[in-house]
Every structure is written in structure tokens, then in C-alpha cells.
Amino acid sequence: MNKRNAVLHNLGRAAITILLALGCLAFVLPVYTSLMMSLKTPAELATTAAWSWPKQPSFANYSEVLSNPNVSFIRLFGNTALISTLATLGTAISASLVAYAFAKVNFTGRDRLFIVMLSSMMLPAIVTMIPTYVLFKELRWVNTILPLTVPAFFGGGAFNIFLLRQFFMGIPKELDEAAKIEGAGHWTIYSRVVMPLSGSALATVCVFCFIYHWRDFMGPLIYLNDPNTQTLELGLATYNSLRAEQWHLLMAGSIMVMIPLIVIFFVGQRYFVKGISMTGLK
């Protein structure tokens, strides 16, 4: 009986591993293809299949992208990192505050106000772009990183608030009730109970937020027109001009733009796992 179970168990594990490996293969393929393309010369790109192994892998495209004086990769990298870091910081602070109110404070009209909050996601940004631009222009914020970072400190976006709210709702109420009995107010519960238990949720939000701002195109496109203040995604677009695409450079550039994100995701995900393990208190 036990033996049969063990065999089944092992078979199950093997099946899972095979499924995962196949899935991985499919999911890695697009990035693998960009990588292959980035190692080829333009002529080889035009004459071979996109995913074939390069005849002579070369990093020439990478050095060309790095040394292009008109699209200074290093400077754009710095700008992008600054914007993404500030926006992530702002989101982590403000979204967690707002989400706490929606999850743990029982105020009048809470659920309807929450829908109102969500509704800011429901209107296509294209039609608010012009008035928003004019607003930031009047504040003299155009051509600075302010339009891309300051709003993050004021709410951090409905998506992040919603995500954190869902996590906070999962924290057993016994915990905050116990704190309340000891005379703690909401600020104490937020900072001493909820936040310490929400490492995984915060890590998730931070990683998402960082990635979002790192890859944002429309925001920098509209607000940053000085080449020196721009971001990597805008820089990459230079290699993707409508009638003069330079796929070899575009691929090399996009791989380099991706690497920091892979690192951040890989490091950040360790914290995703450390869920709300305290729920075991029950």
C-alpha cells in the first residue's frame, strides 16, 4: 500500500516537473529569440530564422547600443532607476495607508467609496492625457520627473491599493482586536500588526510597481522631451523608427533593459513566499 503510494507520488512529481519544464520552454521562447537576434549581425538577421543559434555570437550590438552618443544608455538608465525607485517608494507608503483604511477601518460608505476609487482605472487615459498635461504644465512640472513620481505618493494607483486591500483583508481580525483591547489605535495596528505581517504583499506591490514604471512608455513620452531626462523605454524606441527599424540594436537594448528587472524579480520573489504565516495563530 505504502509502496504504491510512493510510486504514485513519484509519478506525480515527475509529471509536475515535465509540465513545468515544457511550460518554461514555451515561456522562455520569446526572450530566448530576442537574445539570439541580439547576437547576430543585421545581414544574418535578414537571412536566418529568428531563433537559430548565431553563426558567430557577437556582442557588437550591445557595445553599439552602449556607446551611442545620441541615446546615452547609462544616463537613461540612471533616470529610469531614479523614477522607478521614487515611484515605488511612494506607492509602497501611500497605497498601504489607503489600503489599510479600506480593509481595516470600518468607516461610513466604505464599499461605495472603494468602487469610486476603482473607477479611476476604468476611464481610458487617452482622454485625460491632455488636461493632465496642461495641469502639470501649469505646475511647471513638465520636463521633470515630478509628473511621473509625485502622484505615486498620493495613493499609488487603484491597482496597488486594491491588491494590498485584498491581502490586508486576509489578516485575521483576532490580531487587530487583540491589539485594540490593549488600547492600540489604528496607527499602531497599521504599523505594528498589519505592516509587519504584509512583507509578501508589499514585496509583490513593490516589484510590480517598479517593473511598471521601468517599462512605462506613455508617461515619459509626454512629460519628458529633453533627451537627457528620458527613460530607457523611450531610448529603445529610437531603434524602432517606423521606416528604419534596427532590430539587432533593438533586441540588444531590450535585453539590457530587462536584466535589472529579472534581477529584481528574482531577488524580490523570495519575499513573496514568506506569506502571512502568522495566520497560524488561530
Query: Quick one: which of 79, 155, 213, 219 contacts another protein (CB under 8 A)?
Result: 155
What 3-state DSSP class applies to 207? Answer: helix
Q: How far is the CB of 271 from another protein (least distance, A)?
A: 10
Q: Residues 250, 42: contact at Cβ < 8 Å? A: no
Compare residues 3 and 262 and give the one whose CB is closer to another protein: 262
Compare residues 11 and 121 and give the one whose CB is closer to another protein: 121
Restricted to residues 44-63, the positions that interact with another protein (CB under 8 A) are 44-47, 49-51
d(CA 213, CA 222): 14
Restricted to residues 226-255, the positions that interact with another protein (CB under 8 A) are 226-227, 233-234, 236-247, 249-251, 254
Restricted to residues 184-213, the positions that interact with another protein (CB under 8 A) are 185-188, 190-191, 200-201, 204, 207-208, 211
Residue 105: phi and psi, rounded to 5, are: -100, 130
Q: How far is the CB of 78 from another protein (least distance, A)?
A: 15
d(CA 223, CA 83): 12
Restricted to residues 112-151, the positions that interact with another protein (CB under 8 A) are 112-113, 115-124, 126-137, 140-146, 149-151
For every residue of 238-274, DSSP letters joined together read TTEETTEE-HHHHHHHHHHHHHHHHHHHHHHHHHHHS
Q: How far is the CB of 72 from another protein (least distance, A)?
A: 12
Task: Please give the size of the binding site for another protein, defined by CB under 8 A.
Answer: 152
* CA torsion through residues 85, 90, 95, 97, sign: positive
Query: Quick one: which of 81, 166, 182, 213 contacts another protein (CB under 8 A)?
Result: 166
28 binds another protein (CB under 8 A): yes
Query: Quick one: which of 76, 87, 92, 98 contacts another protein (CB under 8 A)?
Result: 98
Q: For the CA atoms of 58, 60, 63, 64, what is the dihedral angle to 10 degrees?
A: -150
80 binds another protein (CB under 8 A): no
Compare residues 46 and 59 and give the one whose CB is closer to another protein: 46
Residue type, 233: E
9 binds another protein (CB under 8 A): no
**Which listed range, 2-10, 14-22, 77-85, lies at the site for another protein (CB under 8 A)?**
14-22
The region, left, alpha or beta by phi > 0 then psi within -120 to 50, assigned to residue 164 is alpha
- In 3D space, the residue among 137, 136, 164, 162 whose CA is nearest the CA of residue 150 turns out to be 136
